[in-house]
C-alpha cells in the first residue's frame, strides 16, 4: 500500500508547482495554440495551427492561422516557453516555431525528420537540449520507437541524436496491435525518467536520456498491461509517487505506483473509464491529473464524454465522480487551464473546443460553453 506520507507531502509540492506554472505561463492564459488534423485520409477539416487570444472575460479570438501544414496533431512548448514544436501526424517530421513574446504569433523555424513514422507525441527534456518524440507506426522500412532531436540555441531542431526502434511481443488485437506502438513520451516530475505507454505491446516501458542525447532502456522498470488494453497516455500525480494511464482499446484507467528513484512502475488498480450502463463501443484518449492531485480526468471517444475520478489521499485509488457529455463528437484531447478553474475539450469530429468549469471541491465539470469552432482539433496549449 502507498504510504500516506508520500501523498500528504503534496501540500509542500503543490505551491511550488503552482508558482512555476504561473511564472512560465501566467496566472491567466493569454493565448491558446490549437493543433489539428488536415489530411483527406483522416477525413479532416483542419487548416493548420490556430493561435487565439483569450480575453479577460474568457472569449477566444483567432489572431493567426499557420496553414499549409500537414496534420500538426500534437504541440509542445520548449522549457522556456519561447518556442513551439509540432509533430506531423501520419508523416515523418516535426517542425519548430518561434513565439513572438509581444503578440503570441508563430514564426516558422525549420522542419526535420523524426527517424520514424507517424510522430504522435513530443516533449522537451528538462535541460531543454533535446526534444523526445514517439514514432507510432512501422512503415516504409522505418520502425516504431522513440527518438531524441537536438534543440538549438535559436530553437531550431537538429537531426536525431538517437533513434530507438521498439521490439516486443505484440498484443492480440489483430488490427490495432500489428507492431509496437509507443503513443507518448512523458518525463516524470523529477525529469530523470521517460515513461512510454506502448499501445501495440500492452506494456509501459521506461527510458533515461544521457547528456549526449542517447536514450537508454530501463528493463527492470517495464510493466505489462492487461492484454488488448492498449496503453495510450500517462499522467503523473504531483507527488511523483503515482501515475495514471488511459488504456485506449478497452477504455480503462490503470493506476500505478511509481518509484522516482528507480523509474519502476507497478499497477495496483484498474477501473472503467465508462459508466457501467454504456454498452456500445468507445476508445480511451486523454488523461490528466488536477494540479492539487485530488482528481483524475479522462476522455472517451464513442461515449463522447469526460470522466472525473476522485483520488484517495491515502492509497491513490480512484473512485468515479461522474461523466459529462463532451458536447461534440470524438473528444481526442483536453487540457486543464493554467489556473485550474476550467477544462477545455478538443472535439476532433465535432470541430469545436468546449470549456467546462471545474468545481474545486467536488472535481465535477459543469457549465459547458463552446469557445471556438475549428476544424478537427487534436491538441490545445495555453501560454
The CA distance from 235 to 168, in Å, is 24
pLDDT of residue 314: 98
CB burial of residue 228 (10 Å; 0-12, 13-18, 19+): middle
This prediction has a pTM of 0.92
**With the C-alpha atoms ordered 370, 327, 230, 89, is the resulting torsion angle positive or negative?**
negative
pLDDT of amino acid 48: 98
The confidence score (pLDDT) of residue 62 equals 98
Q: What's the CA gap between 250 and 243, in Å, rounded?
A: 18
**Predicted local confidence at residue 27, as pLDDT:** 43
Asked if residue 114 lies in contact with residue 133, where contact means CB atoms within 8 angstroms, the answer is: yes
**Average confidence (pLDDT) per 10 residues, the chain, 383 residues:** 37 37 47 98 97 96 98 98 98 98 96 98 98 98 98 98 98 98 98 98 98 98 97 98 98 98 98 98 98 98 98 98 98 97 98 98 97 98 96
CATH architecture of 4-303+325-349+375-382: 7 Propeller (2.130)
Domain ranges of the chain: 4-303+325-349+375-382
CA-based Rg of the chain, rounded to a whole angstrom? Answer: 19
Say which residue the cell 512503415 belongs to: 139
Residues 6+ apart with CB under 8 A from 9: 239
In this predicted structure, what is the pLDDT of residue 29? Answer: 61
Amino acid at each position: 500500500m502507498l504510504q500516506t506520507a508520500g501523498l500528504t507531502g503534496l501540500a509542500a509540492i503543490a505551491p511550488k508547482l503552482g508558482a512555476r506554472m504561473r511564472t512560465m505561463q501566467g496566472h491567466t492564459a493569454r493565448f491558446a495554440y490549437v493543433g489539428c488534423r488536415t489530411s483527406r485520409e483522416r477525413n479532416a477539416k483542419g487548416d493548420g495551427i490556430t493561435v487565439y487570444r483569450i480575453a479577460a472575460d474568457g472569449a477566444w479570438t483567432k489572431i493567426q492561422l499557420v496553414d499549409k501544414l500537414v496534420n500538426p496533431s500534437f504541440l509542445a512548448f520548449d522549457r522556456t516557453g519561447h518556442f513551439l514544436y509540432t509533430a506531423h501526424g501520419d508523416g515523418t517530421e516535426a517542425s519548430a516555431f518561434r513565439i513572438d513574446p509581444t503578440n503570441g504569433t508563430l514564426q516558422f523555424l525549420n522542419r526535420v525528420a523524426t527517424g520514424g513514422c507517424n510522430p504522435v507525441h513530443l516533449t522537451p527534456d528538462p535541460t531543454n537540449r533535446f526534444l523526445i518524440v514517439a514514432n507510432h507506426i512501422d512503415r516504409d522500412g522505418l520502425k516504431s520507437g522513440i527518438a531524441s532531436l537536438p534543440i538549438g540555441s535559436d530553437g531550431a531542431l537538429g537531426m536525431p541524436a538517437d533513434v530507438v526502434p521498439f521490439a516486443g511481443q505484440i498484443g492480440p488485437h489483430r488490427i490495432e496491435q500489428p507492431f509496437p506502438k509507443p503513443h507518448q513520451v512523458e518525463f516524470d516530475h523529477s525529469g530523470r525518467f521517460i515513461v512510454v505507454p506502448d499501445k501495440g505491446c500492452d506494456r509501459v516501458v521506461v527510458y533515461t536520456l544521457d547528456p549526449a542525447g542517447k536514450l537508454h532502456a530501463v528493463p527492470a522498470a517495464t510493466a505489462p498491461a492487461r492484454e488488448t488494453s492498449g496503453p495510450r497516455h500517462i499522467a503523473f500525480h504531483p507527488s511523483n509517487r503515482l501515475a495514471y494511464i488511459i488504456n485506449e482499446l478497452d477504455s480503462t484507467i490503470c493506476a500505478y505506483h511509481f518509484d522516482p528513484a528507480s523509474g519502476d512502475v507497478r499497477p495496483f488498480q484498474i477501473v472503467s473509464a465508462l459508466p457501467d450502463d454504456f454498452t456500445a463501443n468507445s476508445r480511451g484518449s486523454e488523461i490528466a491529473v488536477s494540479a492539487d492531485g485530488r482528481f483524475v480526468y479522462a476522455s472517451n471517444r464513442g461515449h463522447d464524454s469526460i470522466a472525473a475520478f476522485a483520488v484517495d489521499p491515502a492509497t491513490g485509488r480512484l473512485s468515479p465522480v461522474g461523466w459529462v457529455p463532451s458536447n461534440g463528437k470524438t473528444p481526442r484531447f483536453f487540457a486543464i487551464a493554467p489556473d485550474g478553474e476550467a477544462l477545455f475539450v478538443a472535439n476532433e469530429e465535432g470541430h469545436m473546443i468546449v470549456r467546462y468549469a471545474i468545481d474545486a471541491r467536488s472535481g465535477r465539470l459543469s457549465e459547458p460553453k463552446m469557445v471556438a469552432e475549428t476544424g478537427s482539433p487534436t491538441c490545445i496549449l495555453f501560454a
